[in-house]
Amino acid sequence: MSDREVVNLFLHFTVNPKPRVEYIDRPRCCLRGKECSINRFQQVESRWGYSGTSDRIRFTVNRRISIVGFGLYGSIHGPTDYQVNIQIIESDKNQALGQNDSGFSCDGSPNTFRVMFKEPIEIMPNVSYTACATVKGPDSHYGTKGLKKIIHESPTGAKTCFLFFSSPGNNNGTSVEDGQIPEIIFHT
């Protein structure tokens, strides 16, 4: 940076009214509060396969949230790397609101492994969305005894209610009852 750019940057953060700057001055992210997550399965089993078809689950929420990522199951064969594309689609419009081509490393345990979006995705109340994950890699763990309704209560007492529905079409077998995409990571 030149001396003039450093001075302008300093003035931007210290004086009002703010001088014009040569860069975008809006915040990159407006997330507040604590990161939260819900897990829709009560039990974990072995041997979920991948053939290039997306695992999908539809959901609605009762209040505005921002989804920042998913927790996904990893390999039953020990430490493994996966490639994955994650998406959130507004179901009724069939419009992708956000996606990320990413990857994750797992350790062979039945734990979930985080895959994050590049930017938070705003989710509005009472609108149907589809969570999608297209996973490339060996057989993994999967969830069973899925919950149709999950209520997350924040430390402040605010309640976020998730309702899950099976997505029409080929979902690689994922449904409300069992499959992949066990965890949704979000901010309220």
Tokens standing for 60?
A: 């609605």
| pLDDT at residue 3, as a whole number | 86
Average pLDDT across each block of 10 residues of the chain; the chain has 188 residues. List them in order.
82 75 63 85 96 97 96 96 97 96 95 96 97 97 98 90 94 96 95
| pLDDT at residue 1, as a whole number | 78
Mind listing the pLDDT tens digit for each residue in 56-86?
Answer: 999 999 999 999 999 999 999 999 999 999 9
| pLDDT at residue 18, as a whole number | 72
| pLDDT at residue 110, as a whole number | 96
Other CB atoms within a 10 A radius of the CB of residue 58 amount to 18
| pLDDT at residue 30, as a whole number | 56
| pLDDT at residue 164, as a whole number | 98
User: Where are the extended beta strands (E) located within 49-90?
Assistant: 55-61, 65-73, 80-90
39, 101, 152, 161, 181 from 65: Cα distances, Å: 16, 22, 12, 11, 18
| pLDDT at residue 16, as a whole number | 77
